């Protein structure tokens, strides 16, 4: 399966007009979303806690997290967001169609 990207809007729930939009890599195995910390701080989201995550090689890393609103493909959800260096999106509520590598939103009739 190839890499799939979707446009996502990250919103500060306390100040809905403060948003950031980016092209995210879909990670069907992800638990939380990852956004570069600079963009989160730019819209007024600051770290609220730290959480330990296990990397692919089995090592563990502590990362800052916050909560925010995530909008993509017509859905708006509240989610944990990791202060990171890349853009990945947890799509546990959607399906990834490997041919032709598209995302099927959970509210779709084909879901």
pLDDT band at 91 (very low <50, low <70, confident <90, very high): very low
pLDDT band at 87 (very low <50, low <70, confident <90, very high): low
| Predicted pLDDT at 96 | 42
Write 64-69 long-range contacts (CB < 8 A, 24+): 64/37, 65/32, 66/40, 67/13, 68/10, 68/11, 68/12, 68/13, 68/40, 69/10, 69/11, 69/12, 69/13, 69/16
Q: Which residue has the higher pLDDT, 30 or 82?
A: 82
CATH of 5-104 given 1.20.1260.10, 2.30.42.10, 2.40.70.10, 2.60.120.10: 2.40.70.10
Q: Which residue has the higher pLDDT, 6 or 111?
A: 6
What tens digit of pLDDT does each residue of 27-80 get? 777 778 889 999 999 999 999 999 998 888 889 999 999 999 999 888 898 999
| Predicted pLDDT at 109 | 53
Residue in this structure with the two tokens 């090689």, named with its chain if needed:
57
- The per-residue pLDDT of the chain, averaged, comes to 80
Task: At 100, list the tokens.
Answer: 């032709």
In angstroms, rounded to a whole number, what is the distance separating the alpha carbons of residues 17 and 31?
26
| Predicted pLDDT at 85 | 79
pLDDT band at 101 (very low <50, low <70, confident <90, very high): very low
Residues 6 or more apart whose Cβ sits within 8 Å of residue 98: 1
Residues 6 or more apart whose Cβ sits within 8 Å of residue 20: 9, 10, 35, 39, 40, 42, 43
């Amino acid at each position: 399966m190839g890499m799939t990207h979707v446009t996502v809007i990250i919103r500060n729930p306390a100040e809905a007009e403060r948003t950031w939009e980016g092209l995210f890599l879909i990670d069907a195995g992800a638990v939380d979303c990852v956004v570069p910390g600079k963009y989160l701080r730019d819209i007024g989201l600051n770290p609220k806690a730290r959480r330990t995550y296990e990397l692919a090689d089995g090592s563990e890393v502590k990362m800052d997290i916050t909560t925010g609103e995530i909008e993509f493909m017509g859905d708006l959800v509240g989610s944990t967001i990791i202060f990171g260096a890349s853009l990945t999106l947890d799509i546990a509520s959607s399906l990834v169609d490997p041919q032709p590598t598209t995302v099927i939103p959970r509210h779709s009739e084909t879901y």
